Amino acid sequence: MVLTFLGTAASEGFPDAFCRCDNCERARRGGGRNLRLRSAALVNDDLLIDFGPDILAASALYGVPLTNVAYCIQTHDHEDHLTPHNFFARSPMCKVEGAPRMRYFAHRKAITRAMPALGNEFALIDGMPSAELCDRLNIDVAPIELFQQFMAGPYTITTVRAQHAPETVALLFVIERDGRTLFYATDTGDFPEETWAALRGFRFDVVALDHTFGDWERSSNAHLTGHQFRAHLKRLREEGMLAEGARVYAHHFVHHSNPPHEELVALGARHGYEIAYDGLRVWI
By the criterion CB under 5 A, which residues form the site for Zn ion?
16, 19, 21, 24, 78, 80, 187, 255
Q: Give 177 or 211: the residue with its C-beta nearer to Zn ion.
A: 211
Scored b (16 or more CB within 10 A) or e, 184-223 reads: bbbbbbbbeeebbebbeebebbbbbbbbbbbebeeebebb
Q: Are 203 and 241 in contact (CB under 8 A)?
A: yes
What minimum distance in Å lies between the beta carbon of 269 and Zn ion? 24
CB of 19 to Zn ion, least distance (A): 3
Strand 71-73 relative to strand 204-210, pairing: unpaired
Whole-angstrom distance, CA of residue 103 vs CA of residue 188? 25
Closest separation between CB of residue 15 and Zn ion, Å?
6
Least Å from the CB of residue 192 to Zn ion: 16
CB nearer to Zn ion: pick between 76 and 177: 76
CA 34 centroid distance within chain: 19
Q: How far is the CB of 246 from Zn ion (least distance, A)?
A: 24
User: In this complex, which beta carbon is closest to Zn ion, that of residue 15 or of residue 129?
Assistant: 15
Residue 1 or 82: the one with the smaller Cβ distance to Zn ion is 82
CA-CA-CA-CA dihedral for 65, 67, 73, 75, to nearest 10:
40
Residue nearer to Zn ion on the CB measure, 36 or 136: 36
- Among the listed residues 203, 208, 148, the one whose alpha carbon sits nearest the alpha carbon of residue 179: 203
